[in-house]
C-alpha cells in the first residue's frame, strides 16, 4: 500500500481519491470470480500498516469493501487481516466487531514460539465472537519449526498457508528454492547501493540486467526449482525424510580464531545414517564436524577455524546432510572480521 514513487500509503492519506478506486477494483474482482469454486474467498488487504493516526480508518474501509463485494457475490468468504502486519492480537482486535456472517480473521505467524501462548490471544477473539481463524501467511523457518507450527494449529483447529517459494537461494525454509542466475550479484550490489548517501552506484547495462532477470524468471519455474522434501515432510508428514537445523543462524569470528555451529538432525519417520558436510569456506579456513555422521537423530558440532589467513567479509556456508535416499541443505552466514 506504500509501493509508490514517494513511498506514501495514499490509500490512507488521500482516501477520498484512492479508496473508491480500491473498492471498485474489489467489486470487479468479486464479479469476475463469483462462480469460481476454486476461490475460497477474498483477502482484502495484506498486512495493513497505515500511517500513524490512520489506524481507525482500516476497519471502515474493510466494511465498505465488503458491502461492495456483497452486491455481486453473496457467497465467498471475506478474509480480514489486522493491523501491525497482521502479526498480533491487538491488531486483530482493532477490526472488531465482525460485520459479515461469512468472515474469517487472519493472522500471520513468523519466527516465534510454537506454544499455546503464541496463539492464545487469537483464540480468545475466536471464542468471544465465534469467527474462524486462519494463519494466512507463514514459513521462512526451519523444517522443525514448520512441523511444530502445523501441529499446534491442527490441535487448535486453525488452517494455515505456508510459502511454496519466496526468496532466491531460500534453502530449507520453503517447499521450493529458486536458484540465483549467473551475475545476479551485479543486480544486488546496485540495488543495495541505492541509498541517500551512496556516491558510486554503477548499474549493470540494460542488456545485462535483461539477461539476468529473464534467467531469474526462468529459474522460478517449478520445474527448475530445488524441491525441499524436508519442508514438505514437516508440514504434511512422510516416512522417509529428516530435517537439518543449525544454531546459531549466523556466526562472526575474528581472523585467527574459531567459531562453531550446532547441527541437529530431526527424523520424520526416517531411520538411517546422515553424513554431514560443509561447503563455501573462505580461503584459509578449515572445518571439522564432530561427529561427521549421525544415525537417525542427534547433534554434531561444526567448528570453523580461520588461522589468520582468511580475508574479512561475509561468506555463505552450505551445510548438507545426506542419507541414502535424500539430501537436505541449510545455508548460514559466516562473518570474518579483521
**Exposed e or buried b per residue across 85-110, where buried means at least 16 C-beta atoms within 10 angstroms of its C-beta:** bbbebebbbebeebebeebbbbbbbe
pLDDT above 80 (res 261): yes
80/43 Cα distance (integer angstroms) = 6
32/154 Cα distance (integer angstroms) = 33
The chain-wide mean pLDDT, for the chain, equals 91
Its pTM stands at: 0.71
pLDDT above 70 (res 239): no
**Exposed e or buried b per residue across 6-45, where buried means at least 16 C-beta atoms within 10 angstroms of its C-beta:** eeebebbeeeeeebeebbeebbeebeeeeeeeeeebbbbb
How confident is residue 2, by pLDDT bands cut at 50, 70 and 90? very low
How confident is the model at residue 288, as a pLDDT? 96
How confident is the model at residue 37, as a pLDDT? 87
First CA to last CA distance, the chain = 42
124 vs 9, 80, 89, 149, 152, CA distance in Å?
31, 17, 9, 19, 16
* Higher pLDDT, residue 239 or 143: 143
Using DSSP's 3-state secondary structure scheme, residue 306 falls into: coil
Query: Which tens digits make up the pLDDT trace of 81-106?
Result: 999 999 999 999 999 999 999 999 99
Query: Which tens digits make up the pLDDT trace of 169-196?
Result: 887 888 899 999 999 988 988 888 876 6
How confident is the model at residue 52, as a pLDDT? 93
The DSSP bridge pattern shows strands 258-268 and 298-305 to be antiparallel
What is the residue whose three cell numbers read 480500491? 22
Domains detected in the chain: 10-138 (3.20.20.80), 179-219 (no CATH), 239-337 (2.60.40.10)
270/298 Cα distance (integer angstroms) = 12
Grid cell digits, residue 81: 487481516
How confident is the model at residue 270, as a pLDDT? 78
pLDDT above 80 (res 268): no
How confident is the model at residue 3, as a pLDDT? 56
pLDDT above 90 (res 135): yes
pLDDT above 80 (res 205): yes
How confident is residue 54, by pLDDT bands cut at 50, 70 and 90? very high
The secondary structure of 235-294 as a DSSP string is HH--SSEEEEEEESS-EEEETT-EEEEEEEEEEEB--SEEEEEEE-PPTT-EEEEESSEE
Share of the chain above pLDDT 90, in %: 67
Query: Which tens digits make up the pLDDT trace of 60-83?
Result: 999 999 999 999 999 999 999 999
pLDDT above 60 (res 109): yes
Amino acid at each position: 500500500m506504500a509501493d509508490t514513487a514517494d513511498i506514501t500509503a495514499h490509500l490512507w492519506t488521500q482516501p477520498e481519491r484512492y479508496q473508491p478506486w480500491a473498492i471498485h477494483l474489489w467489486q470487479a474482482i468479486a464479479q469476475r470470480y463469483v462462480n469460481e469454486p476454486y476461490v475460497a474467498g477474498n483477502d482484502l488487504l495484506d498486512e495493513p500498516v497505515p500511517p500513524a493516526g490512520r489506524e481507525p480508518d482500516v476497519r471502515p474501509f474493510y466494511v465498505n469493501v465488503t458491502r461492495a463485494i456483497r452486491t455481486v457475490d453473496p457467497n465467498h468468504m471475506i478474509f480480514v487481516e489486522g493491523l501491525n502486519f497482521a502479526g498480533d492480537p491487538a491488531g486483530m482486535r482493532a477490526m472488531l466487531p465482525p460485520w459479515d456472517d461469512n468472515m474469517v480473521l487472519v493472522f500471520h505467524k513468523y519466527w516465534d514460539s510454537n506454544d499455546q501462548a503464541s496463539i492464545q490471544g487469537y483464540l480468545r477473539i475466536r471464542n468471544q465472537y465465534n469467527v474462524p481463524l486462519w494463519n494466512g501467511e507463514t514459513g521462512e523457518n526451519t523444517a522443525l519449526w514448520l512441523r511444530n507450527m502445523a501441529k499446534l494449529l491442527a490441535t487448535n483447529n486453525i488452517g494455515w498457508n505456508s510459502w511454496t517459494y519466496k526468496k532466491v537461494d531460500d534453502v530449507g525454509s520453503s517447499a521450493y528454492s529458486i536458484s540465483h542466475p549467473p551475475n545476479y550479484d551485479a543486480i544486488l550490489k546496485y540495488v543495495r547501493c541505492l541509498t541517500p548517501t551512496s556516491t558510486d552506484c554503477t548499474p549493470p547495462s540494460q542488456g545485462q540486467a535483461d539477461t539476468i532477470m529473464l534467467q531469474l524468471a526462468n529459474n522460478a519455474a517449478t520445474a527448475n526449482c530445488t524441491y525441499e522434501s524436508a519442508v514438505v515432510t514437516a508440514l504434511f508428514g512422510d516416512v522417509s525424510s529428516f530435517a537439518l537445523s543449525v544454531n546459531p543462524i549466523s556466526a562472526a569470528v575474528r581472523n585467527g580464531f574459531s567459531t562453531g555451529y550446532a547441527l541437529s538432525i530431526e527424523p520424520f519417520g526416517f531411520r538411517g545414517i546422515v553424513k554431514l558436510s560443509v561447503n563455501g569456506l573462505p580461503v584459509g579456513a578449515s572445518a571439522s564436524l564432530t561427529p561427521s555422521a549421525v544415525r537417525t537423530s542427534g547433534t554434531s558440532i561444526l567448528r570453523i577455524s580461520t588461522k589468520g589467513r582468511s580475508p574479512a567479509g561475509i561468506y555463505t556456508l552450505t551445510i548438507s546432510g545426506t542419507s541414502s535416499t535424500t539430501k537436505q541443505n541449510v545455508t548460514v552466514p559466516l562473518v570474518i572480521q579483521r
